[in-house]
Amino acid sequence: MKISHIEHIGIAVKNLQDSILYYESILGFSCYAIEEIPDQKVKTAFFLVGQTKIELLESTDPEGPIGKFLEKKGEGIHHIAFATQNLEEALTEVETKGVQLIDKIPRKGAEGLHIGFLHPKSTQGVLTELCEDKSK
Ligand code: ZN
């Protein structure tokens, strides 16, 4: 597997609007997209920092993955996403090397990316996402 860069860092927040305000007025970024992903029960906001994005995640359902994360751990870094090519092959490769997968088959993520999560049990506690941009 060849990872080209950090695609994005996912940050769980309680209130998307408040958080957008912080990133815009304090850090000087500008939010270029807000997208709801019903499948993952989140609303996301994106900022570009060089080649890497910041993905803010607000829960739309307390029973969803971000809702549960916020309840357990509070706000903070939720996952890190690496850009790779041929995601299917990459997932198979890491599974062969003993990594527990959350997604054995790529699924659709925000911004039309194909994504697959590795289980934090196998990645020293860091929820890790691999993603592939098939439009490139
Ligand atoms: Zn992500």
| Domain ranges for the chain | 3-132
pLDDT at 135: 85
Residue 119 DSSP label = P
Spell out a b/e string for 121-134, using b for 16 or more CB atoms within 10 Å of the CB, else e.
ebbeeebbbbbbee
pLDDT at residue 111 above 90?
no
- Supply the pTM of this predicted model: 0.93
Q: In this predicted model, what pLDDT tens digit does every residue of 45-80 receive, in sequence order?
A: 999 999 999 999 999 999 999 999 999 999 999 999
Tokens of 112: 């039309």
3-132 is classed CATH 3.10.180.10 = yes
pLDDT band at 134 (very low <50, low <70, confident <90, very high): confident
Cα of 97 from ligand 1 centre, angstroms: 23
pLDDT at residue 136 above 80?
no
Strands 52-59 and 76-84: unpaired
Spell out a b/e string for 36-57, using b for 16 or more CB atoms within 10 Å of the CB, else e.
ebeebbbbbbbbeeeebbbbbb
N- to C-terminal Cα separation, the chain:
17
Cα of 68 from ligand 1 centre, angstroms: 16
In the chain, the amino acid numbered 74 is: G
Cα of 59 from ligand 1 centre, angstroms: 13
pLDDT at 110: 86
pLDDT at residue 129 above 80?
yes
Q: In this predicted model, what pLDDT tens digit does every residue of 26-52 receive, in sequence order?
A: 999 999 999 999 989 999 999 999 999
Tokens of 39: 């499948």
Cα of 42 from ligand 1 centre, angstroms: 11
CB 20 within 8 A of CB 56: yes
- Could you give the 3-state DSSP secondary structure of residue 6? strand
- Determine the Cα–Cα distance for residues 96 and 44; give it in Å rounded to an integer: 32
Q: What is the mean pLDDT of residues 117-121?
A: 96
- Residue among 2, 97, 17, 104 at smallest CA distance from 56: 17
Q: In this predicted model, what pLDDT tens digit does every residue of 81-110 receive, in sequence order?
A: 999 999 999 999 999 999 999 999 999 888
Tokens of 79: 């996952």
